[in-house]
């Protein structure tokens, strides 16, 4: 996902809003590679409400979906739907107008930001709430919308895992709600990762992808972790690996005898630290040996001799 307010090198005052090229009377602002928009004019173009509290010097932007974002010029601190958060940089001001990071403001109001290459315009499109259907989980909906289940729950004020068919969810999640990315652990940081999970996962990677490139090893590790996060599989690394009829080496003794290589350990550690190169994939197989499976799955990626799918 692009960084908060990531730069969009559009014209100085033009945007594509709901599919229509729109000229703002005020220029966009680019600071440190971040694009800022004049809040009042942008909110007006999007049909959002803007209120200013002269006593507190706070600006509040709200939409028809119940979202509310409050901030002060010159401050990093914001209030969003009752929660307190902090932006990477302070809200700006120019010619008496408040300027807020474009992507952050749009996503907070449930609008997506894209890029129109032909005209070099930022695209802002309001996203309607997603309607839950049978079989949906927070995990599957989050995967389809490039976010996490926890962030999706926070976005919608949910405390449990249950969903109801017909329930509406806001699926555009502003980045300040997302957990900070976890970097792969260094050699002296393995105490932050469950040692037993790391050892078992690394051995499985070795027996299933020992001759595959590193990216293939990382992908195999992530198939296991994607299953851990899926309601359709056990919720532990050990439970997934030793589930009946899933990973043959776990049942035939090869896993127990395996010794993980440095690359297999590295891949397992990276996956456990949050590095996922096959989001949503819960299966992998060799298409040359099992070609019929291609008709039964949705392919996420092909790496080496393995197809990763969901």
Q: State the Cα angle at 186 between 180 and 189, rounded to 5°.
A: 80
Instruction: Report the mean per-residue pLDDT for the chain.
Output: 86
Our measurement of the distance from residue 39's CA atom to the centroid of its chain's CA atoms, rounded to an integer in Å, reads 26
Three-state DSSP state, 32: coil
Residue 9 in this model has a pLDDT that exceeds 60: no
187-309: same fold as 14-126?
no
Q: Looking only at Cα atoms, what is the longest distance across the chain?
A: 72
Does the CA dihedral 199-200-202-207 come out positive or negative? positive
The pTM of this model reads 0.57
Domain residue extents for the chain: 14-126, 130-177, 187-309
Query: Given pLDDT bands bounded at 50, 70 and 90, which one contains residue 12?
Result: low
Residue 235 in this model has a pLDDT that exceeds 60: yes
CB-count burial class (<10 Å; 0-12, 13-18, 19+) for 188: exposed
Query: Given pLDDT bands bounded at 50, 70 and 90, which one contains residue 189?
Result: very low
Residue 181 in this model has a pLDDT that exceeds 80: no
Question: What one-character DSSP code corresponds to residue 5?
Answer: T
Residue 293 in this model has a pLDDT that exceeds 80: yes
pLDDT digits (tens, 9 = 90+) for 81-135: 999 999 888 999 999 999 999 889 999 999 988 766 566 778 899 999 999 999 9
pLDDT at residue 44, as a whole number:
96
CATH number given to 187-309: 1.10.10.2520
- The whole-number average pLDDT for the span 61-89 is 93
Query: Given pLDDT bands bounded at 50, 70 and 90, which one contains residue 184?
Result: very low
pLDDT at residue 6, as a whole number:
37
Alpha-carbon span 127 to 125, nearest angstrom: 6
Query: Given pLDDT bands bounded at 50, 70 and 90, which one contains residue 219?
Result: very high
Write 135-142 long-range contacts (CB < 8 A, 24+): 136/163, 137/161, 137/163, 137/230, 137/231, 138/163, 139/229, 139/230, 139/231, 140/230, 140/280, 141/169, 141/171
Are 271 and 218 a contacting pair, CB within 8 Å?
A: yes
Alpha-carbon span 109 to 13, nearest angstrom: 21
pLDDT at residue 19, as a whole number:
86
- The whole-number average pLDDT for the span 188-216 is 84
pLDDT at residue 160, as a whole number:
87
Alpha-carbon span 235 to 224, nearest angstrom: 10
> Homologous superfamily of 14-126 in CATH?
Copper amine oxidase-like, N-terminal domain (3.30.457.10)
- The whole-number average pLDDT for the span 66-80 is 95
- Domain formed by 130-177, architecture: Roll (3.10)
pLDDT digits (tens, 9 = 90+) for 46-57: 999 999 999 999
How many CB atoms are closer than 10 A to CB 171? 20
pLDDT at residue 165, as a whole number:
96
pLDDT at residue 77, as a whole number:
94
pLDDT at residue 30, as a whole number:
79
Question: What residues form DSSP beta bridges with 59?
Answer: 52, 71
| H/E run at residue 52 | strand 49-53
Query: Which residue is it, tokens 């960084």?
Result: 3
- The whole-number average pLDDT for the span 64-69 is 96
């Amino acid at each position: 996902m692009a960084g908060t307010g990531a730069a969009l090198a559009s014209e100085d005052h033009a945007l594509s809003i709901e599919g229509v090229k729109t000229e703002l009377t005020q220029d966009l602002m680019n600071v440190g590679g971040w694009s800022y928009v004049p809040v009042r004019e942008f909110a007006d173009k999007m049909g959002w409400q803007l209120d200013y509290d002269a006593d507190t010097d706070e600006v509040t932007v709200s939409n028809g979906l119940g979202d509310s974002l409050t901030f002060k010029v010159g401050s990093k601190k914001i209030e969003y739907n009752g929660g307190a958060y902090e932006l990477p940089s302070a809200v700006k001001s120019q010619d008496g107008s408040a300027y807020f990071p474009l992507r952050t403001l749009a996503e907070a109001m449930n609008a997506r930001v894209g890029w129109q290459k032909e005209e070099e315009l930022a695209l802002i499109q309001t996203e309607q709430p997603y309607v839950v259907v049978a079989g949906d989980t927070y995990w599957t909906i989050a995967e389809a919308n490039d976010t996490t289940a926890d962030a999706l729950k926070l976005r919608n004020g949910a405390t449990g895992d249950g969903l109801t068919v017909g329930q509406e969810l806001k699926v555009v999640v502003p980045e300040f709600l997302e957990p900070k990315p976890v970097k792969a652990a260094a050699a002296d940081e393995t105490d932050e990762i469950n040692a037993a999970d790391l050892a078992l996962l690394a051995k499985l990677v070795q027996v299933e992808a020992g001759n595959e490139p590193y990216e293939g090893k990382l992908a195999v590790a992530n198939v296991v972790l994607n299953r851990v996060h899926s309601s359709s599989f056990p919720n532990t690394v050990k439970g997934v690996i030793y589930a009946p009829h899933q990973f043959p080496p776990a049942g035939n003794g090869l896993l127990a005898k395996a010794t993980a290589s440095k690359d297999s350990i590295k891949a397992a550690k990276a996956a456990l630290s949050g590095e996922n190169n096959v989001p949503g994939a819960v299966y992998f197989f060799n298409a040359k040996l099992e070609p019929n499976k291609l008709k039964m799955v949705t392919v996420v990626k092909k790496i080496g001799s393995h197809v990763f799918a969901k």
